[in-house]
């Protein structure tokens, strides 16, 4: 087991050592400069403003049947069955996303799953 090194965190990650992991917080805390939070958030905002449409579209293609999220209205009309179906679809999708050890494609249906190459 020594061929894996003596780093206790690495050995614990491998599952070969379950003893306590010594950690010196003060020694590792400030080993690099702290970025300016305002500049970091502005950079993230600029990136998202330029890239969000692409990432949202890719997400929708992966998550929703035919790549189309359900159309939802802020005003709920209980007699509108298409509206009820859309809200229920979103609820079920959210509930199924909490299940462990699944693949994102598993909730879309057999035809989409098969076309993803797992059929």
**Residue pLDDT tens, the chain, 119 long:** 455 566 777 767 666 666 666 667 666 666 667 778 899 899 999 999 999 999 899 888 888 878 888 888 888 888 889 899 888 888 888 887 766 655 656 655 544 444 444 44
DSSP the chain: -GGG-S-HHHHHHHTS--S-----HHHHHTSSPPPPHHHHHHHHHHHHHHHHHHHHHHHHHHHSGGG-PPP--SS--TT-HHHHHHHHHHHHHHHHTTSSS--GGGGS-HHHHIIIII-
pTM: 0.47
Domain segments of the chain as ranges:
1-47
């Amino acid at each position: 087991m020594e061929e894996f090194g003596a780093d206790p965190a690495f050995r614990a990650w491998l599952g070969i050592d379950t003893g306590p992991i010594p950690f010196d917080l003060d020694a590792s805390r400030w080993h690099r400069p702290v970025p300016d939070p305002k500049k970091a958030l502005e950079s993230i905002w600029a990136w998202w403003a330029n890239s969000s449409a692409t990432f949202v579209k890719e997400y929708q293609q992966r998550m929703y049947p035919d790549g189309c999220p359900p159309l939802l209205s802020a005003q709920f009309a209980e007699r509108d069955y298409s509206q009820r179906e859309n809200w229920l679809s979103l609820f079920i999708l959210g509930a199924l996303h909490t299940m462990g050890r699944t693949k994102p494609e598993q909730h879309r249906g057999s035809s989409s799953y098969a076309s993803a190459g797992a059929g």
